[in-house]
Structure 1
């Protein structure tokens, strides 16, 4: 009976170890890369210029002025937020609002958002904070300038793309769309600028891309890469635990020291 139990434990440990071993290797490689790399460099902070702030001496108009201009062109159901930002040195109001205008175009920020009530769409409008005049979404030229003002020099533009949708594996996934993707030859990276928000969103480079690929292998989310609660990961974690426990059990039942201890006369006598 003991031999049969030993046999089945060994077979379980061997085959499950073979199946799970590849994923264990991915987890180990990913853990090494994650722990040995500075997360700030992975995010590309070393490729970005120091953040600039607006002076306190600005002569600004009330956001209500910009709202009145906006209400003459579109239906404003309710406000989400009004934020003061800087766009190419110009103080700008970033107005997020909900509209029930049937012709309104939905602003994608990692997915659609509901509005103040059913049927409302989330929108963004920029306005000059010194005059209240509405500002159009960033053009290609303006987006390139925003990117250049955020990326360290020398910054040599190689390619510019306009993104209206991205897949689940895209390096700009779950970020505001539409957006401009500005790829630089030097430094070797791609900067993403939101057209409607008017702001620099993210910077991607090879170190981040390796991190992202290993993260996908680590989480075993081969659809969107970021779901750490997926069924596959849970299953492999559970069976991985069983494999480790079977290894301990296999050592116990096959250990000569344990067998000799059991055979010692009077081992259980007081």
Structure 2
């Protein structure tokens, strides 16, 4: 039985590696072209947003201390994470984020000097002009907030209240609950507004969705998109290296020029 040459096995390995990796290499190439030919600011929807407005310096505001005192009177406040002045549907508003609900294990071990775990962060909105508390955003207020963020808001097609989203949802990884306000134009655009924080969070539109799809193919993270250390990507990277190396080896073992050089060396 005739033994097959080393060149045969190298060529066969290279062929099958190329077949397995070819589709993914195609995805990487198409994705890279799409990324390079698109303005990332447009992908983020910055061109769809209105110019940010600021509060006049002459407006009257109550002290944040008043809001904190009123908050302590009605709720358990372990510590304050932040107090921020935001705008909610044209109303200057204090957004108070605070820890409530006891210390976590690490804080207990440290003698109670650390703030509670981030999972215990709560939010309270208050009118910055009167100090009165504001409830989490209703649908009507959320729509106003979303429209104020749009440069040219068109008719609202749909409003959805989100309490949970899957790992493939376009609003994944952002604060919940939230209102999703979808406009008929432009570009099938949806603005997301956090109900508890009272703030606009992000815009999603068709250009972003295509970008996100190619980004998923690029990272090969079919769950959360951004895990560059997933096993599938590592495996394909190693196989890709083997494919390239096998191509170099195949060239050297099959090239007539290389064989001629070897014969000259042997004769010498």
SS at match of 1:176: coil
> Do the aligned partners of residues 211 and 132 (structure 1) sit closer, same or farther apart at CA in structure 2, a change above 3 Å counting?
same
Question: What are the superposed Cα offsets for residues 45-103 of structure 1, whole Å, 9 maximum, x if unpaired?
Answer: 111111111222222221111111111221111111111111122211111111117xx
- Correspondence for 1:104: none
Unaligned runs of 5+ in 1: 102-114
- Correspondence for 1:158: 157
- Correspondence for 1:254: 254
SS at match of 2:32: helix
**Equivalents in 2 of 1:81, 1:256: separation in Å?**
72
Q: Bigger CA drift: 136-145 or 258-267?
A: 258-267
Q: Is the 8 A contact 2:147 2:153 kept in 1?
A: no
SS at match of 1:261: helix
**Equivalents in 2 of 1:132, 1:20: separation in Å?**
62
Unaligned runs of 5+ in 2: 103-113
Question: What are the superposed Cα offsets for residues 17-48 of structure 1, whole Å, 9 maximum, x if unpaired?
Answer: 11111111111111110011111111111111
Deviation >4 Å, runs of 4+: none
- Correspondence for 1:212: 212
- Correspondence for 1:227: 227
- Correspondence for 2:116: 117
**Equivalents in 2 of 1:81, 1:61: separation in Å?**
17
Q: Is the 8 A contact 2:99 2:118 kept in 1?
A: no
Q: Does 1:245 align with 2:250?
A: no
Q: Higher helix proportion, which one?
A: 2
**Equivalents in 1 of 2:126, 2:174: separation in Å?**
22
Q: Does 1:94 align with 2:107?
A: no
**Equivalents in 2 of 1:62, 1:250: separation in Å?**
76
**Equivalents in 2 of 1:172, 1:184: separation in Å?**
16
**Equivalents in 2 of 1:86, 1:218: separation in Å?**
38
